[in-house]
Amino acid sequence: MTESSRAVVLFSGGLDSVTTLAIAGREQGCECYALTLDYGQRHRAEIRAAEHLARQYGARDHVVVRVDLGHLGGSALTDPAWDLPRGGEGPSGIPVTYVPARNTVFLALALGWAETLEARRIFIGVNAIDYSGYPDCRPAFIEAFGHLAKLATKAGIEGRPIRIEAPLLHWTKMEIIRKGLGLGVDYAGTVSCYDADENGRACGTCDACRIRRRGFSDAGIPDPTRYR
């Protein structure tokens, strides 16, 4: 493998990130390095899922980095005192599950590792269609961070820019699922739920569960999610 074939893949252990890893490795032939962030999330079962799934879907290396955003507060995903929205109900606007600066921090760490590895690509599984309204899942954010990556790195200054790739950005959840199945992804082991139990079983009522369940229904595929 050459440096141009190496890629860092942000990898949560959820449906979108597993699909993204399969696209990077199985479809595009990248030598993948999976990066999971332990950011103080309530749904810690996804970290265990990531540890199990990274190698299964072709990561050459998998690193879990702890950056506890819970200390900063401001999100129902990091503060158990906040109620999670259920069943699509709740006030309009950006939901309480938004974690301030999460994808900015994630991409910054991925950028640092990519430069160390002399990798030329970073893959992130953000989606601007079937998502909950997070500002750091929009095309404008991805484009802006790509510009930052060129300005802020030795690789960028020397003419070897690291590209930020978001292959799922404009896909519906149905399209993401169908793509993953076509690449041999088994979604049964993935964890998307905001309130999964210690065994990774989903609550079935949070926004993440609702969007995921609808995706399988729209795709005409039996939902393999383990619900409690």
User: Residue 86: what pLDDT?
Assistant: 84
Alpha helices (runs of H) in the chain, residue ranges in sequence order: 15-22, 45-56, 102-117, 139-152, 154-157, 173-182, 207-219
Whole-angstrom Cα Rg for the chain: 17
User: Residue 201: what pLDDT?
Assistant: 95
Sign for the pseudo-dihedral over CA of 43, 66, 176, 150: positive
- Nearest Cα to 145, choosing from 120, 163, 127? 163
User: Residue 91: what pLDDT?
Assistant: 56
- Nearest Cα to 47, choosing from 88, 96, 13? 13
Cα angle: 228, vertex 49, 163; to 5 degrees? 130
Global pTM value: 0.94
* Nearest-angstrom CA–CA distance, 161 and 167: 18
Residue 151: half-sphere exposure toward Cβ, Cα within 13 Å: 6
User: Residue 101: what pLDDT?
Assistant: 95
Residue ranges of the chain with per-residue pLDDT less than 50: 1
Per-residue model confidence as pLDDT tens digits over 87-109: 665 556 888 999 999 999 999 99
* Nearest-angstrom CA–CA distance, 36 and 22: 16
User: Residue 44: what pLDDT?
Assistant: 87
> Which tokens is 47 given?
């970290």
User: Residue 3: what pLDDT?
Assistant: 56
Which CATH architecture does the domain made up of 3-219 adopt? 3-Layer(aba) Sandwich (3.40)
pLDDT, averaged across the chain: 93
